[in-house]
Structures are given as structure tokens and as C-alpha cells.
A and B are shown apart, each in its own frame.
Chain A
């Protein structure tokens, strides 16, 4: 049984209400932080904890907080990114739905640390009912003196506002989120200036993921050093993984980053193995935008070491033979799944969600989608595969925001590891529309130039 510090109380009856949450030891961190700690000390504690952003990029949170500009007389803001739209990721929804006060508690502490008197939760439009849960939790917190003016007599004022998005994936990118929060079209801004200098209304802003902010609570309760002891290496603390796909027990699991991928998929405590006794074909370990890995590279790294569920181990081997922790959307594909179709589905998503601001992403995502649809329908050509490779290479790194990269990586990885399956869709076109390739003989990844 792994360590649980976020979801340990998530299933207590009535934990959604303030009374039960408080009875179970909630809002202790607010008391500790506001009464005994200075804002700098909290930032220091978060730095010590080694907490990394849980939204996908894995940037050290304490470091991000310390970059926040503090000019005199200019308000600062904390924004909670609850625009969780990555296909395969649903951990934040789970957290907000079952234990909303944990997020509110984390937000109050983080707001105090960063000096934000007006804190925003930007939640995606599809989570309509979750926004109501949060608003209710905020009401309760305010009624009990954990929000509003002069919280716990510390002289610190804080209000939390829930802002509903309209359901655009791009608004999960922090600068697009800021634009959308300001009431504009959700187009990512060109960086620099970074939000830490000029964010919401040109004021210094920190944008953090829901899980990151919730993790501030155990960090304050346990202390940064104690928190850092959970996990391994630079992957400290616990991570919520939303597992889905062809597994026996899909759902949200809290892991302490010391277990192996194999254990995560096959143990009964977590995913419970592949559904219907099928064999594992491939897995996308961190949400749709991270590279897909075939079974052999998923369970063992290219060097033959066991792969673990943490930031370093999942990205071992770079993009050639590794993947990324990403946002923790663990998508498992069994032998009956078609990688081409899967890649097409993702490409369609990115084409639909591209904001259309910069040309490589706007035009490239649409082009990739059309090529993949053609391949999937058995009308493709061998040259289409090389063309796809070329297009993704030209999108990656040339766009304003990471959506271009996110659209390019799945296509690149699918071709890198499953080129034979793509080719089979061309050479066995009639068969490809009726059945699928099955478990490939991908013991060795096919060599393709990395670029």
C-alpha cells in the first residue's frame, strides 16, 4: 500500500462539506501557515519539498513562485489552472469533486505565500457541476473565516473566484488561460514577458495546476523536508494518476512514485491488469500529448532497467525510447487497439483545439489529421508516413505555445515505434479497414532519424 496524502480522506462520507473536512483535520495548514509562518518561509518550504508542477511540464513549483515579481503597489494574483482538458486526464476533476476543500485550503496558503488577495480558479466549462461544488466550498470556507477579510486575525485578505471557461483545450496553456480570464479570446501570449512578470491584467501572476496547489497542504502540514522523503530522487511527494483504457480498474490512483510501471498496470491495488485477459500493446503514460510507448519500452527502459512511475524514469531515453510523466493521464492500449486510429483521434483533437494563431500549428495539425485519416481508411501511401514525420518535425518547436509540440509528439512517437503498423495500413489496405494489426513484433524500435 503506497503513501496517500492527497486522497487519503477523499472517500469519507460527507468530506465535501466543511464540517466533516474540518473534523478530519482540514484547514490545519492554513492555521499553521498564517499564524506561524512568513510568506517567504512558505515559499522556502515548498522549495525544500521539491514539488514539481503537476500540470504536465514538471517545473519546480518553489522556483516558479520565487520568480514572481513583487513591484510596490501592484497587486499580485494566483490562478489555479483547473482547465483540465488533456484527453486521458481526469485527476483534477476527481480531486475537486470529492475533496474540494483540499484545493481551497491549498489556495489560501499559496495565496498567502504569494501575496494574492484575489485568487482565481479557472475551470473548464464542461466541469459545470464541479464549479458549483467549488463555489459551495468557497462559501463554507468564507463563513468559517478561512476566506474574506483578515483571515484568522492575520491581517491577510483573500477572495477566491471561480471562473468558468468555455471548454477550450488551449485555455489550459497558462498565457491563453490568462487572456481568457481577462475576457479576451483565448490565444496564448508570446513569451517573454512571462506571467510571473506580467500576467493577469499585466500584474505578476502565478498559474498552478489543481494538484500542485492541493499538494501545498501536506507540504505545510508535514514540512517540506518530510514531504521530500516521499517518492524518489527529484520526483518527490505523491502523484495522482488517472488510468484509463483497456484495464480492469480504470480510475484515479495516488502513487508515491516508487512503484514500477509493471506493478501499476498489473497489481490489483491499481489498474488490475489488462481487461479481458488481453496482452499489453502500448501505453501513453502522461496524457495524450506525450509520446506513446510500446509494451517492451514501457516496462523496461532501453538500457534494460525497470521503468518506474516517476518523472525521471518515464522520460529515461529521451523521446527516442522514453516518454514523459505529463499530466498523469495513463492510457493503456491492448492488442486489439489500432495505433494509427489512436493517433488519428489525437490529431483530430489537436486540429480542433488549435487556436489558429500561429501558422505551423494551425495548418500543420489539419494536414496531419487528413493524412492520418487517409492512412486509417486504407487510402494512404507509403510516402504519407514520411510526410507525416516531416510535418510533425516542422511543427515542433516552431510554435508560440506548447500545443504545437503536443500535437507533434504523439504522431512522432507513433511513427517512431509503430512504423510497421502504419506501413501495414498501406500495404494491406483492404484488411486494415476490417481488422487491425494486433500485437506487433516491435521488440526493437525501428530506426528512424531523430530530428
Chain B
């Protein structure tokens, strides 16, 4: 093995060395925190993905050490490789923030915003994106587009109106199964995910389209309308599965397993196993094994501190990822000053309810403030 060339890249005033051939987005992910551009279509485990949603646009203010010219347009950080000495502006560039806000607006004009009845709510990338970069209102005054319903079989529910056409599920079918049954039909704003002739998606690994879907367009029929994700306890578990690695996350409430998903990392992507392969799970694990006795429980799953799922406050037992705080570095050493602790005035999210202490299913009364 030859020595890997390392390239020095500066993203929002934070310098990092990454191997040649790394994309700007992956370099930013190594830094972590706020300087990482959001990505709706890029999926590091799926070859060829990315470049489509345009949420990860960044400004390259210096091309490289050799050619310091800035790039004329904003570039998709998920598909642009770093060069030595490159300087990238993400959250420090007004142009980027403006473009990103407009992409969010574009993505939302035809999105139904049915979060209250959407199973993806709470772990939806589009929700996170709109929360961080969106505006409070919409300027769109027309009817949102709708689609004819397509039935994809007994396990996978397709809500085409929620789809943002990231193509991730198409890549999953291309790369994980021998035969792809679904794809993009039509074009433009009426392009849709569908099977050419109504057909159910049947393959041992096709269930992974649910995990890669950034929005609630593809959801688990066995979990549909059963529970909200933030009421569930994510637990790592495994079983001896003949088709897949068998390493999954169980979403429990009490002893009941509500759903089974692959283990996702802090970017919402399915984790890599020790041997470097991706921990995709098979349909049997995902849809059939819904009893605790089917599984060997390993322990609680670490959830990002920013995720609504972590609002269950599984103190001590369930670890929470603390993302790297980059604010000070981005601002050249200046520290932010906390003006007010929201928890001292707000009744919402009062950190005194401990889901892990509740026996059995939690009820709404459990979330009322207890005065004892």
C-alpha cells in the first residue's frame, strides 16, 4: 500500500487534513457540528448518489494552493473533491445560506407538510432541514401536486406526495438487489417513484429503501400509524440471521417491539460494520421478528442530542451523541454568550421526565409535569 496523500482543506476557518479523493462534504463531516452541510440526497453508502437536492451547496473561496481562483458558482459539496489548500465557506457565506434557504423553499412548495400524521416525523431530514434553514411561512399559493397511488406490496408504503426525488431508493434497489422493480417515471415536477406496472417490491433487502428515505415517502407498513418515534426506546440488538448481519435497532415501548430498523449513524445513514461493509438488514429481520424474544438486546442506542428522539431523556442508560461544538472556531475564537436559558422559562421540554423509568407503555399523563 502506498502512502495516502493528505490534502489540507479549510472549511469555515477550521482546517483539517483528509486523504485525496475525499469530497468536501465528507471532510466537513470529519469536523462535524454545524459546519457540515446538510445532505438530502447524498448517501455515502450508495455509489453515485448525491448532487441532486442541492442543499449541500457550498462556496469555494479558494480552489487550491496551485490554483487559488475561487469557483464561480456554488458547488455541490457531496460531489466535489477537495484539493490541497482549498478554502470552503459553508455557514460563513451569506450566498450559501441564501441558496440553502431557497432550496428548502423549493423542496417544501410541493411537500404536503402532513408531519402530524407522518410516520417519519421526528426522524425526518426534511424536518431538520426546514427547522434549520427554512423560513417560517410559504410564498406558494397554488395547489400542491398530487399523484395516483401506487401499491408496492405488503411491507412498503409509498407516499409519493412527500417524495423529494433524492433517488436514494433507486440506488438501493440497483446496488442491493439483482433486479430493480421501481424507478422514476415521468419528468419534471411530475416525476414520480413507481413501478412501471403496479408490482410489489419483493427482495430480501428491498426494505432498506425505508431506511434510506430522507422523508416519509417510503415507510414501514408494519409500523404505520402505530406510534411516534419519540415515544419509543431505541435499543441495539442482534440475532443470528442467515441473510444479513442481523445487527439492528429495536424500537421498543415497554417490552413490545414496534419496529426494527438498521443502525443509523449521526448522519442518518446506516452504519458500517467492523469489516467495512454496510449493516443493511434483511426483510425478515425488519418485518417478521417483532418479539423481544427473537433478539439479543445489547443495550441502549446512542441518539444525537439534537434529535427529538433524545427528548425521552434516557438518563444514564441511553447515551446521547454530543455533536462537536464548532461555533467558537468558526468565529475565530470568539465565544458565544448565553443570553437566556430557555429551560428556565419554558414549560416545554422540561428535562424532568425520564422515559426509561416508566414501566410499560408511556401515556400522555406521564408527560404532564409531576409535582412530587
User: Which residues of A lie under 8 Å from residue B107 when comparing CB positions?
Assistant: 359, 363
Closest Cβ of chain A to B103, distance in Å, is 6
B52 at interface by CB-CB < 8 Å: yes
Q: Are A359 and B188 in contact (CB under 8 A)?
A: no
B99 at interface by CB-CB < 8 Å: yes
Once the chains are docked, how many angstroms separate the CA of A388 from the CA of B145? 20
Q: Are B76 and A359 in contact (CB under 8 A)?
A: no
User: Which residues of A lie under 8 Å from residue B102 when comparing CB positions?
Assistant: 360, 394, 398
User: Which residues of B lie under 8 Å from residue A185 when comparing CB positions?
Assistant: 183-184
Q: Are B188 and A360 in contact (CB under 8 A)?
A: no
Which residues of A336-354 have CB atoms within 8 Å of chain B's CB atoms?
Answer: 351-354
Q: Are A363 and B54 in contact (CB under 8 A)?
A: no
Closest Cβ of chain B to A192, distance in Å, is 8
Once the chains are docked, how many angstroms separate the CA of A190 from the CA of B142? 31
Q: Are A387 and B189 in contact (CB under 8 A)?
A: no
Once the chains are docked, how many angstroms separate the CA of A280 from the CA of B79? 47
Which residues of B88-130 have CB atoms within 8 Å of chain A's CB atoms?
Answer: 98-99, 102-103, 105-107, 109-110
User: Which residues of B lie under 8 Å from residue A170 when comparing CB positions?
Assistant: 187
B302 at interface by CB-CB < 8 Å: no
Find the B residue at minimum CB distance from A370: B142
A287 at interface by CB-CB < 8 Å: no
Find the A residue at minimum CB distance from B103: A359
Give the number of residues in B that approach A within 8 Å (Cβ atoms).
35
Closest Cβ of chain A to B75, distance in Å, is 10
Q: Are A359 and B189 in contact (CB under 8 A)?
A: no
Which residues of B156-193 have CB atoms within 8 Å of chain A's CB atoms?
Answer: 164-165, 167, 183-184, 186-191
Q: Are B188 and A358 in contact (CB under 8 A)?
A: no
Q: Are B99 and A398 in contact (CB under 8 A)?
A: yes
- Selected from B106, B183, B184, B187, the residue in CB contact (under 8 A) with A360 is B106
Per-position binary interface string of chain A over residues 19-58, scored 1 when its CB falls under 8 Å from any chain B CB and 0 otherwise: 0000000000000000000000000000000000000000
Closest Cβ of chain A to B340, distance in Å, is 34
By secondary structure, the A interface counts as helix
A109 at interface by CB-CB < 8 Å: no
Per-position binary interface string of chain A over residues 155-194, scored 1 when its CB falls under 8 Å from any chain B CB and 0 otherwise: 0000000000000101000000000000001000010000
Q: Choose among B98, B139, B145, B167 the residue with the greatest number of A CB atoms under 10 Å from its CB.
A: B139
Q: Are A357 and B54 in contact (CB under 8 A)?
A: no
Q: Choose among B51, B55, B79 the residue with the greatest number of A CB atoms under 10 Å from its CB.
A: B51
- Selected from B98, B165, B167, B183, the residue in CB contact (under 8 A) with A362 is B165
Q: Are A387 and B165 in contact (CB under 8 A)?
A: no
* Contact A354-B54, Cβ < 8 Å, known A359-B106, A360-B102, A394-B102: no
* Contact A360-B73, Cβ < 8 Å, known A352-B188, A355-B187, A394-B102: no
Q: Are B106 and A364 in contact (CB under 8 A)?
A: yes
B353 at interface by CB-CB < 8 Å: no
Closest Cβ of chain B to A398, distance in Å, is 6
User: Which residues of B lie under 8 Å from residue A367 when comparing CB positions?
Assistant: 106, 109, 140, 142
Q: Are A366 and B54 in contact (CB under 8 A)?
A: no
A356 at interface by CB-CB < 8 Å: yes
Closest Cβ of chain A to B153, distance in Å, is 23
B74 at interface by CB-CB < 8 Å: yes
Q: Are A365 and B188 in contact (CB under 8 A)?
A: yes
A397 at interface by CB-CB < 8 Å: yes
Find the A residue at minimum CB distance from B109: A363
Closest Cβ of chain A to B163, distance in Å, is 11
Per-position binary interface string of chain B over residues 122-154, scored 1 when its CB falls under 8 Å from any chain A CB and 0 otherwise: 000000000000000001101001000000000
User: Which residues of A lie under 8 Å from residue B191 when comparing CB positions?
Assistant: 355-356, 362
Once the chains are docked, how many angstroms separate the CA of A356 from the CA of B188? 4
Once the chains are docked, how many angstroms separate the CA of A365 from the CA of B109? 12
* Contact A363-B142, Cβ < 8 Å, known A190-B76, A358-B54, A400-B51: no
* Contact A398-B187, Cβ < 8 Å, known A359-B106, A363-B110: no
Q: Are B189 and A357 in contact (CB under 8 A)?
A: no
Find the B residue at minimum CB distance from A396: B73
Once the chains are docked, how many angstroms separate the CA of A77 from the CA of B271? 41
B53 at interface by CB-CB < 8 Å: yes
Q: Are A397 and B74 in contact (CB under 8 A)?
A: yes
Q: Are A354 and B57 in contact (CB under 8 A)?
A: no
A399 at interface by CB-CB < 8 Å: yes
Once the chains are docked, how many angstroms separate the CA of A11 from the CA of B39? 56
Once the chains are docked, how many angstroms separate the CA of A356 from the CA of B109? 14
User: Which residues of A lie under 8 Å from residue B110 when comparing CB positions?
Assistant: 363, 366
Q: Are B51 and A190 in contact (CB under 8 A)?
A: yes
User: Which residues of A lie under 8 Å from residue B55 when comparing CB positions?
Assistant: 359
Find the A residue at minimum CB distance from B106: A363
Q: Choose among A168, A359, A364, A399 the residue with the greatest number of B CB atoms under 10 Å from its CB.
A: A359
Closest Cβ of chain A to B171, distance in Å, is 13
User: Which residues of A lie under 8 Å from residue B190 when comparing CB positions?
Assistant: 356
Q: Are B99 and A353 in contact (CB under 8 A)?
A: no
* Contact A360-B103, Cβ < 8 Å, known A168-B187, A355-B188: yes
Q: Are A356 and B187 in contact (CB under 8 A)?
A: yes
Q: Are A360 and B76 in contact (CB under 8 A)?
A: no
Q: Are B106 and A387 in contact (CB under 8 A)?
A: no
Closest Cβ of chain B to A390, distance in Å, is 8
Once the chains are docked, how many angstroms separate the CA of A363 from the CA of B104? 11
Q: Are A356 and B99 in contact (CB under 8 A)?
A: no
Once the chains are docked, how many angstroms separate the CA of A351 from the CA of B50? 22
Other than A359-B107, A362-B106, A397-B74, give 6 A-B pairs with Cβ distance below 8 A: A353-B188, A355-B191, A358-B53, A363-B109, A366-B145, A394-B102
- A residues at B contact (CB < 8 Å): 168, 170, 185, 190, 351-360, 362-367, 370, 387, 394, 397-400
Q: Which 4 A-B pairs have the closest CB atoms?
A: A356-B191, A394-B102, A363-B106, A190-B51
> 23 A–B contact pairs at CB < 8 A?
A170-B187, A190-B50, A353-B187, A355-B191, A356-B184, A356-B191, A357-B167, A358-B52, A358-B54, A359-B52, A359-B107, A360-B54, A362-B189, A363-B107, A363-B109, A366-B188, A367-B140, A394-B106, A397-B74, A398-B54, A398-B57, A398-B74, A400-B51
